Amino acid sequence: MMGAVAKPTIGIIGTGAIGGFYGLMLARAGFDVHFLLRSEFSAVAERGLQVNSAVHGALTLNPVQAYSAAKDMPPCDWLLVAAKSTSPGLAPIIIEAAAPGAKVLLLQNGLDVEDSLRESLPDSLHVLGGLCLICVHREGPGVITHQALGAVNVGYHSGPANDDAARMALVEEGAGLFRAAGIDSQAMPNLHQARWQKLVWNIPYNGLSVLLGASTTPLMADADSRALIQALMAEVVQGAQACGHVVPPGYADYLFMMTEKMPDYWPSMYHDLLHKRPLELEAIYARPLAAAKAAGCELPRIEALYRALGFIDRRNV
């Protein structure tokens, strides 16, 4: 008789909107999920996590296996890293919570976010990237609003898997966790390319929400902001292509139309502005600009947006 396959132990590093939402969904699906928190630790330890979802209804998880220090967490087979790309010192935390040969899945926006983490992690750990196509934000301590979408697409970055079959097996294992929790998840054969593609949305909307103080509905209702969004999207496509990546024809138009159908949405960068947290400018703007420049491609509109955001970010203390 075949023995039952043990479910992996999952650690959430950074239980905010993304970590809280996916962690809660995985825990409710029966996975053993352990949540690392910082400012919201006491609230979540006392009252649990709550997700008010326009897709799944009102969901709660109480009690929560909550931790204020990684050293107290059990060794985790999968670590879902959902702290912002601006959060310093994640590598030692990950190392403390990782089981031998653990899979570290970085659920952040931006380009090359895995590269900087990889440098500080032991070779024995796998690093994967997850692209979250979702609209979630923190409403209050342990309370998350989920407005729309939800998929996580997974790709392999680096680590001990030394051939395509081994890498794809791990990607499928990661995608399988989300699917088991009722979340759509596709395997991405080229993580770097997929990160460029996601920037076609994040570069215009994240930055313009901060610069113009506007959510997606007003941005999509005004002729000037529409033109600006489309011009910025076209530059991201140009940058991706200069770096050798394929962006399918019509992809920017598809994202533009998708945004028209989305409920009114404030991108996560706007929430950072509001709460006086650092903006994710390095990952979402500086790295793509530098990569395009190195490939001989100037992106003047994105550069102007980046400089304006830098000004705002430095004064937002």
Ligand X SMILES: NC(=O)C1=CN([C@@H]2O[C@H](COP(=O)(O)OP(=O)(O)OC[C@H]3O[C@@H](n4cnc5c(N)ncnc54)[C@H](OP(=O)(O)O)[C@@H]3O)[C@@H](O)[C@H]2O)C=CC1
Ligand Y SMILES: CC(C)(CO)C(=O)C(=O)O
Which residues make up the interface to ligand Y (CB under 6 A)?
Answer: 109, 132-135, 149, 198, 201-202, 267-268
Per CB under 6 A, the segment of 31-39, 58-66, 246-254, 305-313 that binds ligand X is 31-39
User: Interface with ligand X includes 111 (CB under 6 A)?
Assistant: no
Place of tokens 């729309």: 148
Measured between alpha carbons, how far is residue 132 from residues 23, 29, 123 in Å?
13, 19, 25
By CB under 6 A, how many residues form the interface with ligand X? 28
When CB distances to ligand X are compared, the closest residue is: 16
Among 9, 50, 153, 268, binds ligand X (CB under 6 A): 268
Spell out a b/e string for 196-211, using b for 16 or more CB atoms within 10 Å of the CB, else e: bbbbbbbbbbbbbbbb
CB closer to ligand Y out of 17 and 70: 17
Does position 53 bind ligand X by CB under 6 A? no
- Cα 281 from Cα 279, distance rounded (Å): 5
Closest CA relative to residue 106, chosen from 14, 203, 180, 28:
14
Of residues 149, 242, 259, 147, the one with CA closest to residue 201: 259
Annotated catalytic residue 84: no
Query: Smallest distance, Å, CB 100 to ligand X?
Result: 22
* 105: alpha, beta or left? (left if phi > 0; alpha if psi -120 to 50): beta
- Could you say which of 87, 116, 145, 316 contacts ligand X (CB under 6 A)? 87
Q: Smallest distance from the beta carbon of 70 to ligand X, in angstroms?
A: 8
Least distance CB 230 / ligand X (angstroms)? 21
Phi/psi of residue 150, each to 5°?
Answer: 165, -10
- How many beta carbons lie within 10 A of that of residue 221, not counting itself? 11
Pick one of 80, 135, 228, 299: the residue that binds ligand X (CB under 6 A). 135
Q: Under the criterion CB under 6 A, does residue 282 sit at the interface with ligand X?
A: no
Which of ligand Y, ligand X, none does residue 138 bind (CB under 5 to 8 Å by kind)? ligand X
Q: Name which position in 136, 181, 219, 309 contacts ligand X (CB under 6 A).
A: 136
